[in-house]
Amino acid sequence: MEQQILQELESAAKIILAQPSVVTNQQRTEAENVFLNFRRTKCPYQICKYIFDHTSIDYVIFETCNTLKDAIIREWNYMEIDDVNSIRDYLLQHVLNHPNTPVFVREKILQVIAIMVKRGSVTDLGAERRKLLGEVERLIMSGELRKQILGCSIICALMQEYSNTVKSADVGLPWEAHLSAKKQFEMTDLKNIFQLCVGSLNEICKMDGSFSENALMLIKSLLLIAESTLMWAFISATNILFILHARIYRFSTHEADFNLSLKLSTHWKDIILDPSFIQLFFHLHWKIRNSAHLTHYTLNCLVQLASLNGPIVAVKQVKIDYIKNYMSCFLSFLNSVDIVDREAIGVSNIFLKLLLFNKMIIMSDLGREELVNNFFRQMTQLTCHFAEKASQHDSANYDESMFTEAFDNMLKAWEHLFLEHNENLFVESSKCIFDSYLRWHLSPPYGSRSKATSEEVDEAEEEEDLNKFGSQLVSIGIFARQVLDHSLPNLAKLIDEKTYELRLMWQGASNNNIQRDDLYEDLHWLLMISGHVLTNDKDESVSSIPDSIMKYSIQRAPNVNINASLTLLTTVDRSITQSDYAQLEESIDHVVWLVSAVFRLSELEKQMGEAKLTHVLSPTLSSTIAWFLQTWASSYLLLPEAQNSENSFVLVSAFGQQTDCAKWLVDFILNKVQSNICLFSADNCVTENTCKLLLSLSSTRNKALFLLKNEFFWSVINNGLRSHSGYVSPEIKRVLIKSLTTATSAYDGPEEKRREYIDQVLKSIIEKFRGIVLEENFKKQYHDEMIRSEIMEIIHLFIGVVEVAGVIQSTATTVCKCLAEYLSPVLSDMVSLISIYHNYQQITQLILELFKECSRTMLCYLSSSQNEARVFYEICLRLVETYVKHNSGRLTEEVNAEEDSFQDMLLFLDLLTNLLTKDIIDCGLAEENGEGKPVVNSVHVCILGLQGILPLMSVETLKFPTLCFKFYSLLSYIWELHAEKVCEQPHEFLVNILAVIELGLTLFGTQITGICCEFIQFFSRHLCLHAAQLQPEKFLLLQPFLKIMMTIILSRQINSENIKVFGLAFHSLICCYKDYYLRLVEELISSQTQPDIAQRLSEAFTKLTAGLHLGYDRQEKLTFENNFEKFVISIQEFLFIK
């Protein structure tokens, strides 16, 4: 029998390992099945032993280990302790006696041993583990390399088993048991292991000269253990909470998530606080730094040690001593070497961690002694060094450059330092780092950037520099603001210089593309940097001038010639050249100079565009200019005087609201917007940033007031809106109208005046719309391309208006009410349009989008007790009806029809979800109107809408993940909040919904299964609590789910993420249909043919509900939840074997 099985396995292995050309797919599948079946063997221990003794095929041994592993996990509770020990000893002997076993097999065997030790330690409190570790110690002390490495591997396997927190279901232990085993391990043996490892490393380190190959191999194994220990996620009160949360809210609990620092108890004091311990690791790193494959480990250990915190260093002097020792080892290491690329990230991380965890000690407790000065000198030098090295790398390979990442880490370390220490401690450092960053990104001769490439770039994959280098630029802005007298004039000079070069190039009509691209790239970077120097808003909603800039401007004021500064600001059509610099630097406000330099560039670009040179301009640069203007404008333009406690007179005169410059500045920007819209209509990146610029102008109160009174603003918008859609796209027109609507919303003057503005915005569009649809021939002409595109454009405009309705909090209610008055008749017409244009998907979707936007932005401001909201609901209902009328029962062969329908459904689901939210905002207020009639409420509309679109949702459309998620979320949302209303719906509708839920339980993946479980829980809770009021037909609706869920639980493994929700749903169902449940269990047990399985099944079910009276209360729920997890694990022990 055993021989036969072995033969079978060996021939299957041969097939699996054979070349693909020699065996057929079917043979391969069959062979795989042999192994899969073998894994399910009951009590396979004897057979496994036989196989170990008799086969020489490694793959067979590997698979045998898998079988053994599965069986042990499954059958652990039924195994005798002696059997366990004999299997473990046998496996260990096998590894020792077969030195040539390949690594993959050895690791597998060790894993099995480790699993057994861990499972055993739950009951023997680690006795067997200590025995094993004793053997391991002998192995490591043996001096024989092979044995030493084996010892290390055993330790690694053990640590692996104890450290896992994600896959606890796979080891057949409830999660709490796993945690307590882990805790026990880290309290007892982990430190011994580490001590053993450090001792061995110490011995090796004492060897003279360079290490032999063998020694390096052993060092690697030992470092792996040291690294795992120092990165160990120790169980503490805080991270237990974290893990608990992770399980409740279902996010990942990978070890790496919370081992950010080394937090140790005093238990570790004797090893870690010994000064020679840190010296050992630096010394070791110094000795192995030429072995590329090892540096990673030593550096990781050192980085973790730099973050040491927790009770071990709770006494301040202890911490000071530790840090002092660490820093002097670190600095003497840095002084003795040149950091190479593979070390850069590690070293930068050491700086970062030292400052993150010990800033106070370094900045104050250590005093300004030489050690600290040295530290910051090294930090500055290395930051500059990394920048320089990074610039030598090809810019296209940004991600691969170790130096760039190291530089980013250094910036983070500095930023952390600047958070509180704003005094001018680091002027020299800031200057050096700012300069090296400029050199990195500018072309020679000033900088050292490598040549631009002219390769094809895929725009979807290419991230914009502003995003990609976003945090870097923010940091550089901080450095620059430490040394404004250096950074501002330098940036201004460079921009003026490069702008002049561009002008010369244009006039000389140079065709040197490379030279031109270099110039564009320089300007692009100068603008990005300047923008980040002048503003420091990480959060775009609050914009103000940074204090340091204000102070700097005030401080220089005595030397500044205001008139000359203002003249320079508006001098945009001539170049500033080198001969002017000295005078400008002396007598002009530097902020004004820098801003005016960008204005000159912007103006030159505009002139070149008007001269039909758009094709030689750079869209990337144009978009950066628009970005700069927007960033600058949001903090500086029309600067209100009271904003900063101390205001610079020069800045207020230049950019303030009440000045002669104000109108010039606003018109300058509007001019730029207008020209960008016309000249760069084909470049999305430019139009996007231009649109943002325009929108940011209108979104603050004082700017909006200024704009609305400015005729040029109205004419820019109206000209844009009137342009043919070939020149100005509907999307841009949408932004134009948005900007106008935003400005009217931000207007806080008299109500009638705002109405007047709104009237001005909407009237002409509505008239145009009416003009088209009420035209006598419309019914004949509506197919006409021209008419269709005009209609689409108009809907775009309406969407634009609605998108920003309510965007200004203070006026939201009045604005939305006013807009609703204008738009209600339009929306009503839109329903008729959807009927006329039901064959034109683009129009249909725009209309749906309009409704969706209305429900998102306006609805919450409309009153439920008055007619406003009701009118909208009624139109929504007609919309759903009309859409359904034209689309149900339709068979189409249109290309891409499925995706079209998917997009429509997505829009509907958003609309319905938004409707439901309205009810939550109202909190059920105003159920009745004045005349005592019940008001149609949003839930009602939402449910009716759902009834309408349900028949249009096919299994195929649900296969689009976003749609599927939205749909099931909506269902669970409705049933959670309004189960009562749902129960009033027609029986057939409820049956259909339940059919969809049944599909969702198994068909669309883990997440959807979870949502369906929630749905079942909500619904059954409602049924359970209101059983008396319900008709039996309604009450029994969910009963079939008890069997369905039982089948799922018993036949396939529930994903571990879902065990909790599954349990809760199951519990609610049992509470609802107690008798039926008991009957089902009885049937199930009596249908088992094997008496022992029936027996175990019966025990499992008894334990599941032991002590519960199966009623619906909180305590019960919690107990059941616990029981259920154990239940799922226990049935796996006997149900899934052959």
Partner 1 sequence: MADIEDTHFETGDSGASTTFPMQCSALRKNGFVMLKSRPCKIVDMSTSKTGKHGHAKVHLVGLDIFSGKKYEDICPSTHNMDVPHVKREDYQLTCIDDGYLSLMSDSGELREDLKIPEGELGAQLKADYESGKELLCTVLKSCGEECVIAIKNNTALDK
Nearer to partner 1, 508 or 726 (CB): 726
214/510 with CB nearer partner 1: 510
Q: Which residue has the tokens 């070069």?
A: 501
Helix axes of 341-360 and 370-392: crossing angle, nearest 10 degrees: 140
Which residue, 785 or 931, has its beta carbon nearer to partner 1?
785
Nearer to partner 1, 722 or 885 (CB): 885
Smaller CB separation from partner 1, 641 or 894: 894
- Terminal alpha carbon distance of the chain: 17
Please state whether the peptide bond connecting residue 619 to the residue before it is cis, i.e. omega within 30 degrees of 0.
no
Other beta carbons less than 10 A from residue 632's beta carbon: 23
Q: DSSP labels for 495-547?
A: HHHHHHHHHHHHHTT---HHHHHHHHHHHHHHHHHHHHHH---SSTTS----H
Nearer to partner 1 (CB atom), residue 697 or residue 884: 884
Q: Is the dihedral of CA 780, 784, 788, 789 positive or negative?
A: negative
Q: Cβ 661 to partner 1, closest distance in Å?
A: 32
The angle at the Cα of 450, spanning 449 to 455, to the nearest 5 degrees, equals: 125
Smallest distance, Å, CB 606 to partner 1? 16
Choose between 435 and 904: whose C-beta lies nearer to partner 1. 904
Q: In the complex, what is the shortest distance from the CB of residue 517 to partner 1, in angstroms, rounded to a whole number? A: 5
Q: DSSP letter for 232, please.
A: -
Amino acid at 481: R
Q: Minimum CB separation from partner 1 for residue 618, in Å?
A: 4
Closest CB to partner 1 among residues 506, 714: 506
At closest approach, how far in Å is the CB of 913 from partner 1? 23
Residue among 377, 395, 297 at smallest CA distance from 343: 297
Q: Which is nearer to partner 1, 355 or 617 (CB)?
A: 617
Provide the 8-state DSSP code for 463. P
Would you say 615 or 1109 has its CB closer to partner 1? Answer: 615
In the complex, minimum distance from the CB of residue 899 to partner 1, in angstroms, rounded to a whole number: 8
Nearer to partner 1, 165 or 614 (CB): 614
Do 945 and 877 contact (CB within 8 A), yes or no? yes
Name the minimum Å distance from CB 406 to partner 1: 24
Q: Are 627 and 689 in contact (CB under 8 A)?
A: yes
In whole angstroms, how far apart are CA 757 and each of 719, 879, 997?
17, 30, 50
CB 761, min distance to partner 1, A: 24
Output the CA–CA distances (angstroms, integers) from residue 240 to 170, 531, 630, 1113, in the order listed: 20, 44, 46, 26
Least separation, in Å, of the C-beta of 441 and partner 1? 13
Q: Which two tokens stand for residue 293?
A: 């494959």
- Cβ of residue 904: shortest distance to partner 1, in angstroms? 11
At closest approach, how far in Å is the CB of 455 from partner 1? 7
Q: Are 914 and 861 in contact (CB under 8 A)?
A: no
Q: Least CB distance from residue 115 to partner 1, whole Å?
A: 49
Nearest approach, Cβ of 617 to partner 1 (angstroms)?
A: 9
CB 436 within 8 A of CB 497: no
- Which string of DSSP letters, residue by residue, matches 1003-1044? SS-HHHHHHHHHHHHHHHHHHHHTGGGS-HHHHGGGHHHHHH
Nearer to partner 1, 552 or 837 (CB): 837
Q: Tokens for 56, please give them.
A: 């020489």
How does DSSP classify residue 339? P
Q: What is the enclosing helix (H) or strand (E) of 938?
A: helix 938-949
Any bridge partners for residue 656, and if so which?
Answer: 639
Q: How is residue 1051 written in tokens?
A: 């036949």
- Supply 492's token pair: 């201004």
Residue whose CB is less far from partner 1, 516 or 1096? 516
Closest distance to partner 1 from the beta carbon of 421 (Å): 38
Strand partners, 263: 309
Q: Minimum CB separation from partner 1 for residue 693, in Å?
A: 19
Two structure tokens written together for 379: 């930090």
Q: How far is the CB of 671 from partner 1 (least distance, A)?
A: 22
- For partner 1, give the closer residue by CB, 427 or 457: 457
User: In the complex, what is the shortest distance from the CB of residue 506 to partner 1, in angstroms, rounded to a whole number?
Assistant: 15
Contact present, 827 and 837 (Cβ < 8 Å)? no
Collapsed DSSP state (helix, strand, coil) of residue 309: strand
Q: Which of 506/712 has CB closer to partner 1?
A: 506
Q: What is the CA radius of gyration of the chain?
A: 36
**Using CA atoms, how far apart are residues 426 and 432, in angstroms rounded to an integer?**
10
Q: Which CB atom, from 482 or from 903, has the smaller least distance to partner 1?
A: 903
Residue 924 zone, left/alpha/beta (φ > 0; ψ -120 to 50; rest):
left
Residues forming beta bridges with residue 639, ordered by sequence position: 656
Structure tokens at 5: 């099985």
Cα separation, 496 vs 506, in Å, equals 15
Residue with Cβ nearer partner 1 (161 or 904): 904
| Pick 419 or 457: Cβ nearer partner 1 | 457
Q: DSSP alpha helices (H): ranges in 206-311?
A: 213-230, 237-248, 269-272, 275-288, 292-306
> Residue numbers of the site for partner 1 (CB under 8 A)?
452-460, 516-517, 520-521, 524, 612, 614-615, 618-621, 681-684, 725-726, 729, 779-780, 783, 785, 839-842, 845, 885-886, 889-896, 899-900, 903
Q: Are 551 and 523 in contact (CB under 8 A)?
A: no
Give min distance, CB of 729 to partner 1, in A.
Answer: 5
Of 1080, 1065, 1076, which Cα lies nearest the Cα of 1112? Answer: 1065
CA distance 866 to 872: 11
Assess contact for 232 and 186: CB atoms under 8 A.
Answer: yes
